[in-house]
């Protein structure tokens, strides 16, 4: 429903395990949000304390406030328990305590997905060819701490996010080498999902498996950052091979999303890992594996793939969500 409070403020936030970013959604602003402030979560006892401080510092305590908060945990129950922080709170109690006119919590990947239709050419980098078809579904996946996945569908010119746990589907190796990597991981994992390869921890597991498979004289373990940096500067053949494998598997997984949701509006890569080595991805087998889908290769071949480079996709998506809700 359209807001009957034209003077109300739309407070948005992107809540992570380390930082929380808070701003105001503004349909007329170039970035769709203003008044951004960042707080370290460790400096506070809970979410309410941070939001109250922001409202006070901005002089908004006497304003009507609607809020949309993106958070990296399930939001379908009143009680929210954060995954990476010892914070637990009631959505209803938070709304009352802060005297909010309305309060919506959305999953962090819902926010990232909702941001996609607002991205301009400076906020994304295309990998390979393909042109987005207007109004067609959009998919996003993001290797980071885990592997987030979400899909957008357009219904009556309104974007709706279908979220889930797509990163936890079974890993399906394509090459003989990936079959060997799967066998190596099966020695320590009862079940291997795509997240076990497409995450920071996943890149480390790929590297460790390759050290074992190739029996090379190399450190048994390296951090994801060490692996990616060594691959970029070509100082370690096994690191290079690990990052190559990561890009191939990511291409296969992203192509699966394109087929599953017919995502001819585009498949987007988010998360904190891939934007660090976009040039490497562009020169990798990512796009070839994305398109390698047998009889139905025509679908991914015509589907564009992008890496999101916007530094605040969570805030942008929260702004998109609350502004769309008020336009209905």
pLDDT in tens, 142-158: 999 889 999 999 999 99
Q: At residue 246, what are phi and psi to the nearest 5 degrees?
A: -55, -50
Can you name the residues that pair with 39 across neighbouring β-strands? 20
pLDDT digits (tens, 9 = 90+) for 118-142: 999 999 999 999 999 999 999 999 9
Inter-CA distances, 191 with 58, 140, 185, 188, 299, Å: 49, 24, 9, 9, 30
Task: Assign 3-state DSSP to the chain and report helix, strand, coil percentages, each to 5.
Answer: 40, 25, 35
Helix ranges (H only) for the chain are 47-57, 91-97, 108-115, 176-186, 200-214, 224-232, 237-261, 278-282, 286-291, 298-302, 313-327
* Per-residue model confidence (pLDDT) at position 4: 46
Report the Cα–Cα distance between both ends of the chain, in Å, rounded. Answer: 5
CA distance 84 to 72: 9
Q: Which has the closest alpha carbon to 209: 239, 231, 233, 230?
A: 239
The per-residue pLDDT of the chain, averaged, comes to 94
Which neighbouring-strand residues pair with 37?
A: 22
Q: Which own/partner pairs from 71-76 qualify as long-range (CB within 8 Å, at least 24 positions apart)?
A: 71/15, 71/105, 71/106, 71/107, 71/108, 72/15, 72/16, 72/17, 72/107, 72/108, 73/107, 74/107, 75/105, 75/106, 75/107
Known binding positions: 13-18
Rounded to two decimals, the pTM is 0.91
Band (187; pLDDT cuts 50, 70, 90): very high
pLDDT of res. 175: 97
- Locate 71 and state its tokens: 């958070």
Tokens of 96: 């009352």
Residue 190 three-state SS? coil
Nearest Cα to 250, choosing from 269, 235, 264? 269
Residues 90-113: pLDDT tens digits? Answer: 999 999 999 999 999 999 899 999
**Which residues carry a binding-site annotation for ATP?**
13-18
pLDDT tens digits, residue range 68-92? Answer: 999 988 888 999 998 778 999 999 9
CATH 3.30.420.40 maps onto the chain at: 9-107+312-327
Hey, which CATH number is domain 9-107+312-327, 1.10.600.10, 3.10.580.10, 3.40.50.2020, 3.30.420.40? Answer: 3.30.420.40
Please state which of the four CATH numbers 3.40.50.720, 3.40.367.20, 1.10.10.10, 3.30.460.10 is assigned to the domain occupying 120-309: 3.40.367.20
Cβ atoms of 150 and 110 closer than 8 Å: yes
Q: Residue 12's beta-bridge partner residues?
A: 23, 68
Looking at the chain, the domain(s) classified CATH 3.40.367.20 span: 120-309
């Amino acid at each position: 429903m359209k807001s009957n409070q034209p003077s109300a403020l739309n407070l948005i936030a992107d809540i992570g395990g380390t930082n929380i970013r808070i701003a105001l959604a503004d349909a007329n602003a170039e970035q769709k949000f203003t008044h951004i402030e960042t707080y370290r979560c460790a400096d506070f006892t809970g979410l309410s304390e941070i939001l109250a401080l922001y409202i006070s510092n901005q002089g908004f305590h006497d304003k009507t406030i609607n809020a949309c908060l993106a958070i990296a945990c399930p939001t379908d129950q009143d009680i929210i328990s954060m995954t990476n922080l010892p914070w637990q709170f009631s959505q209803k109690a938070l709304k009352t305590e802060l005297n909010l006119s309305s309060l919506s919590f959305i999953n962090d990947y819902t926010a990232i997905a909702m941001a996609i239709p607002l991205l301009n050419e400076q906020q994304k980098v295309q990998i390979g060819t393909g042109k987005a078809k207007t109004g067609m579904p959009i998919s996003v996946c993001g290797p980071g701490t885990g592997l987030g996945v979400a899909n957008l569908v357009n219904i009556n010119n309104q974007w709706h996010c279908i979220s889930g746990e797509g990163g936890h589907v079974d890993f399906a190796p394509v090459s003989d080498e990936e079959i060997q990597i799967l066998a190596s991981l099966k020695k320590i994992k009862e079940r291997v999902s795509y997240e076990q390869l497409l995450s920071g921890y996943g890149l480390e597991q790929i590297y460790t498996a390759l050290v074992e498979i190739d029996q090379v004289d190399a450190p048994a373990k390296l951090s994801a950052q060490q692996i990616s940096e060594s691959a970029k500067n070509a100082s370690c053949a096994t690191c290079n091979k690990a990052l190559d494998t990561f890009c191939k598997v990511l291409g296969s997984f992203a192509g699966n999303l394109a087929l599953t949701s017919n995502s001819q509006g585009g498949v987007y890569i988010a998360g904190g890992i891939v934007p660090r080595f976009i040039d490497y991805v562009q020169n990798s087998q990512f796009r070839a594996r994305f398109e390698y889908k047998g009889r139905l290769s025509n679908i991914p071949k015509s589907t564009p793939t992008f890496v999101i480079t916007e530094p605040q996709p969570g805030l942008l998506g929260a702004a998109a969500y609350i502004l769309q809700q008020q336009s209905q």
